[in-house]
Every structure is written in structure tokens, then in C-alpha cells.
């Protein structure tokens, strides 16, 4: 009885190697070199600030500092951290950032979600109206008078309210929400969910990338904001850390008679700006790696326009 023998082509079961062309190899090398140069150019200013904040005043004046501290010391950090109410201002900033970010995310999402629904007729009016505010505002004095008349001056809301909703962020979330499958929302309604239930239990959990992106944007905005404190917070006990460090920088830049300033004070005046920038950026740098993947995905998907 004859047996049928099945043969396999010689290439089956073996990994196929695609040979890279010379042009592709050249492109890969060029692209790698270019990315390294861009990373170096991007990192150098921050590394320089860190090195300067840990270097001595004499080394800074002589221009010896590059990206490695010269005559390493922590005098400036000790001076800044030892100042009376530093811990209180840092706590104020943490409170403002947490409350402000939560409120901003909540209000921005509630505004963006209905705007993403094309069947709502008033969207044709509200969307251009909201975009209009990106280019035209009431001005500094009307905004100040509004905050005073609302009774939020010298309160936490006086710091949070002026920047609670960002128009650009609303448009980003609107674009993302528009990409959520309508069938999922309809299924939620068939299961008995209200409009708010669909939004909070279906849409928001599916929108974590854009939520994480907005979280980073709003949190960094509140953390670095000193101008609202300058306008609306006269009581020093309510200052955020950004405004406190701004006053330190101003004080260091307008120091008293140089003949009466000690060597320690001269050093503080020379590199206090670098120290302040490091202290301000450090928390955001620590948080960013944990939400980086959501940030990139949110920016890509939220930026798609139909």
C-alpha cells in the first residue's frame, strides 16, 4: 500500500529574515544620532541648573560649572528650606494642586462630554463660543473685579477658580469622547443607567489616557502658578510655594549693600534661581514617569480630528 508523504517547503518553520536596505540602515543611524542630539540639548539646561544649585558662588562666577557641580555644597538648599514658613507654603501648594486638579478634571469632562455629541443642536452655538474664549478674554482688571465681587479673594478658590477650565483641554477631551463607541453608551442605557451613570461608569473608565493627560497638565499648571497668588492672595499664610520662591528670587536679585553681604548670602544670591527651579520641577518630574504611557496615548488620540 503506497504511503503519501507530505513535504513542507524548506522555508517553513524557520524564521524569515528581511534584509535591510542600505538606505534604511543609513536612515536608522542618522535617526539615532539625531535623537541623541535632541535628548542632549533638551537635558543640558536642566542638568546645568542642578549642577549650579549645588556649586559654590565662586565657581559660578568663574564659569567653571557645566553639568557637574564644582565645590559641591548644599548651602543654598539649606537657606531656602530653613526659611520660616517653607513647609506651610509647600503644604498650601499640595492642597491647591489636589483640589484644583480634581475640580478642573470634573468640570472640563462635564463640559467636553455633551459637546462631543453631534445630535445636540446647541453644540453649534456653544462650541464656537467656547473657542472664542481661547483668543479673547475680559482682561486683567475685569477678572480681578470679578474675583473680588465673588468674595474669593484671599481664599483657596481665589487661586483655583481663574484657571479651573482650559479651553484647549476641553477641545482635547471633546475629541477623545467623540471616539467612544455609541453602542457602548446605548448598551449602558438599556441596562438602566442614566446619562450620568453612562458617563461615570462607561465613558470615563474608557478615557483614562486623556484623563491622565489632563491630570498632568492641570497639576503642573497649579503647581507652578504664582501669578494668581500675586493677584488674589494678600495673606502670606495662603501663599503657594511658587510665589514664595518668586519672592526669594526677587529678594536675592535686589540684595542690600554688597559690602554688608556675607559670603553665604552672596552664594545664595548667585544660585538661588537654580535651586528654586529644581525644587519646583522635582515633584512633576517624579510623577510624570507613572503616567507617561497614558499621556502619550491621550495626546495622540485626543488630537485626532474627524
- pLDDT (tens digit per residue) in 194-221: 888 888 888 888 888 888 888 888 998 9
Same domain, 270 and 161: yes
pLDDT at residue 248, as a whole number: 73
Considering its fold, how many domains does the chain have in total? Answer: 2
Same domain, 178 and 48: no
In angstroms, what CA-CA distances link 193 with 43, 130, 185? Answer: 49, 29, 9
Q: Is residue 30 in some structural domain?
A: yes
Same domain, 26 and 171: no
pLDDT at residue 17, as a whole number: 62
Same domain, 50 and 115: no
**pTM more than 0.85:** no
pLDDT at residue 299, as a whole number: 58
CATH of the domain at 132: 1.10.3720.10
Same domain, 48 and 80: no
Same domain, 43 and 121: no
Same domain, 200 and 231: yes
Q: Is residue 15 in some structural domain?
A: no
Same domain, 94 and 149: yes
Task: Give the domain extent around 153.
Answer: 75-302
> Using one digit for the tens of pLDDT, what is the confidence trace for 264-304?
555 555 577 788 778 878 888 887 777 777 666 655 655 55
In angstroms, what CA-CA distances link 188 with 117, 201, 260? Answer: 16, 9, 73
Same domain, 264 and 185: yes
Same domain, 35 and 148: no
Same domain, 132 and 214: yes
Q: Is residue 242 in some structural domain?
A: yes
Cβ of 250: how many Cβ atoms within 10 Å? 9
Same domain, 153 and 212: yes
The dihedrals phi and psi of 112, each to the nearest 5 degrees, come to -75, -35
> Using one digit for the tens of pLDDT, what is the confidence trace for 52-65?
888 877 787 777 88
Low-confidence ranges of the chain (pLDDT < 50): 1-5, 256-261, 305-306
Amino acid at each position: 500500500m503506497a504511503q503519501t508523504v507530505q513535504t513542507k517547503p524548506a522555508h517553513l518553520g524557520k524564521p524569515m529574515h528581511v534584509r535591510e536596505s542600505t538606505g534604511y540602515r543609513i536612515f536608522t543611524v542618522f535617526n539615532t544620532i539625531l535623537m541623541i542630539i535632541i535628548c542632549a540639548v533638551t537635558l543640558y539646561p536642566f542638568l546645568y541648573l542642578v549642577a549650579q544649585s549645588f556649586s559654590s558662588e565662586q565657581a559660578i562666577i568663574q564659569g567653571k560649572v557645566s553639568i557637574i557641580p564644582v565645590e559641591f555644597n548644599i548651602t543654598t538648599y539649606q537657606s531656602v528650606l530653613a526659611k520660616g514658613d517653607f513647609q506651610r507654603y509647600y503644604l498650601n501648594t499640595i492642597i491647591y494642586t489636589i483640589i484644583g486638579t480634581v475640580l478642573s478634571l470634573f468640570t472640563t469632562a462635564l463640559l467636553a462630554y455633551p459637546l462631543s455629541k453631534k445630535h445636540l443642536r446647541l453644540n453649534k452655538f456653544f462650541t464656537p463660543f467656547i473657542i472664542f474664549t481661547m483668543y479673547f478674554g475680559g482682561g486683567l482688571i475685569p477678572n480681578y473685579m470679578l474675583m473680588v465681587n465673588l468674595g474669593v479673594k484671599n481664599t483657596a478658590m481665589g487661586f483655583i477658580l481663574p484657571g479651573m477650565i482650559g479651553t484647549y483641554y476641553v477641545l482635547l477631551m471633546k475629541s477623545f469622547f467623540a471616539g467612544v463607541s455609541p453602542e457602548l453608551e446605548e448598551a449602558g442605557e438599556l441596562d438602566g443607567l442614566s446619562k450620568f451613570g453612562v458617563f461615570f461608569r462607561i465613558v470615563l473608565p474608557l478615557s483614562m489616557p486623556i484623563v491622565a493627560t489632563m491630570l498632568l497638565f492641570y497639576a503642573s499648571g497649579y503647581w507652578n502658578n504664582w501669578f494668581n497668588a500675586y493677584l488674589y492672595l494678600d495673606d502670606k499664610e495662603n501663599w503657594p510655594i511658587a510665589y514664595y520662591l518668586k519672592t526669594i528670587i526677587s529678594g536675592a536679585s535686589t540684595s542690600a549693600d554688597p559690602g554688608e553681604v556675607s559670603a553665604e548670602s552672596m552664594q545664595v544670591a548667585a544660585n538661588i534661581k537654580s535651586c528654586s527651579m529644581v525644587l519646583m520641577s522635582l515633584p512633576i518630574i517624579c510623577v510624570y514617569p507613572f503616567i507617561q504611557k497614558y499621556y502619550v496615548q491621550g495626546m495622540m488620540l485626543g488630537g485626532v480630528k474627524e
